[in-house]
Amino acid sequence: MSDKDNDKDNDNDKESDKPNEPAQTLLTFPCDFTIKTFGSGSQLFETTVLTIINKHTTSHTDRAIQSRPSANGKYCALSITVHVESKEQLDNIYKELSASPDVLMVL
C-alpha cells in the first residue's frame, strides 16, 4: 500500500470522528404537524397529552383534536394538529410525550 493510500484511509477515519452534525429534516418550519398518541381510554391520558402539548405550543383548536377509542374502550388514540415553529420545538414535544407514563406510543 502506498503512502497516498494510507493518507486516504486516514482522511476517511477523520471524517468518521466528526461530532454528530444536525440531522436533516424534510419538514419546512414553521408548519402544521399532526402528532398521534396512544394510551389508556381514561380521561387522565387525554388531559396529560393536552397539558404537554399546551406547554410547548398554544396554536391548536378543538377541531384540531381527534379522539378515537378502541372497540372495547380500553385504549384511546389522540391526533392533535399543532403549529410548530422549529424542529427543536417538535422534538421537545415528542420527548416529553414519550417520557410520560400515561402515553404508550407517540407517532
Residue 101 lies in a domain: yes
> Per the structure, how many domains does the chain have?
1
How far is 12 from 56, CA to CA, in rounded Å? 41
Least confident of 24-28, 64-68, 85-89, 94-98: 24-28
Residue at 60 is within a domain:
yes
Is residue 73 domain-resident? yes
The C-alpha atoms of residue 3 and residue 10 are separated, in whole angstroms, by: 10
Share of the chain above pLDDT 70, in %: 74
Residue 75 resides in a domain:
yes
pLDDT at 51 over 60: yes
Q: Which of 18-22, 30-34, 38-42, 46-50 has the lowest mean pLDDT?
A: 18-22
Find the domain containing 32 and state its range. Answer: 27-106
pTM summary value: 0.74
What Cα–Cα distance (Å) separates residue 41 from each residue in 11, 19, 25, 48, 77? Answer: 55, 43, 33, 12, 8
Domain membership of residue 41 (yes or no) is: yes
Q: Is residue 20 part of a domain?
A: no
Give the CATH number, domain containing residue 48: 3.30.70.260
Q: Is residue 18 part of a domain?
A: no
Distance separating alpha carbons of residues 38 and 51, to the nearest angstrom: 15
Domain-located, residue 50: yes
Q: CA distances (Å), 43 to each of 21, 50, 67, 100, in order? A: 40, 11, 11, 15
Give the model confidence (pLDDT) of 2-27 as tens digits: 555 555 555 555 444 555 655 677 88
94's grid cell: 415528542
CB crowding 4-38: b at 16 or more within 10 Å, else e: eeeeeeeeeeeeeeeeeeeeeeeeeeeeebebebb
